[in-house]
Amino acid sequence: MLLSLSGVEKSYPTGEGPLTVLHGIDMKLDAGQSLALTGESGSGKSTLLHLVAGLDKSDAGQILIDGQDIAQAGDAARAALRRGTVGLVFQQFNLIPSLDVAANLAFQARLSGRHDPAWQAELAQVLGLEPMLRRYPEQLSGGQQQRVAIGRTLAARPKLVLADEPTGNLDEATGDAVMALLLRLVAQTGAALLMVTHSMRLADRLGGRLHLASGRVT
């Protein structure tokens, strides 16, 4: 099992006292599987994704990624896991403005010691980025930037791809095309995909669905 959560709890301190956002979440995701994380605004989707990404710490429970419990891991171990095993694709593209497309594509793969020029070239081709490898992010459309962000994540060959509304900033047709590419590439690499989406239409294209309501799986 690539990703396994059991009894995951998370509260945030607020002016009115602690706010429990996740109540004992259990879930599993195997390599090659994809899962849509759905639920109303405020149901805890992003919180759950951030915990799995190691960007935040849970209060209780176990989060195993590839056999390693990140809930108990220290900051350095969580950062290493983020570099090595997990790839993130968020709604904000977070490209590096001072680097051209080719260097943005290579960035994460270089950090994780897995830069593979042939794989990067294949990604650039599949994602339609070949004509713009020397351009800078500000010279790209939103859909093009999102394709670079997906390519940058997949270039590092993550075992687990975490995506938060990855096509949320795109029009429907562009978003559909980018989503099709993401699903195709994830399937090709055998990675697992956990994706937050508000769109039932997009959720239906993934292998399964985990629905959250008030911080509980329903």
Ligand X SMILES: Nc1ncnc2c1ncn2[C@@H]1O[C@H](COP(=O)(O)OP(=O)(O)OP(=O)(O)O)[C@@H](O)[C@H]1O
The site for ligand X (CB under 6 A) is made up of 12, 14, 19, 21, 39, 41-47
Compare residues 35 and 105 and give the one whose CB is closer to ligand X.
Answer: 35
Q: Rounded to the nearest whole angstrom, what is the least distance from the CB of residue 214 to ligand X in the complex?
A: 9
Compare residues 19 and 60 and give the one whose CB is closer to ligand X.
Answer: 19
Compare residues 1 and 19 and give the one whose CB is closer to ligand X.
Answer: 19
Q: Please, what's the largest Cα pairwise distance for the chain? A: 54
Q: Rounded to the nearest whole angstrom, what is the least distance from the CB of residue 52 to ligand X in the complex?
A: 12
Q: Rounded to the nearest whole angstrom, what is the least distance from the CB of residue 101 to ligand X in the complex?
A: 29
Compare residues 59 and 116 and give the one whose CB is closer to ligand X.
Answer: 59
Q: Rounded to the nearest whole angstrom, what is the least distance from the CB of residue 135 to ligand X in the complex?
A: 31
Rounded Cα–Cα distance for residues 42 and 213 (Å): 9
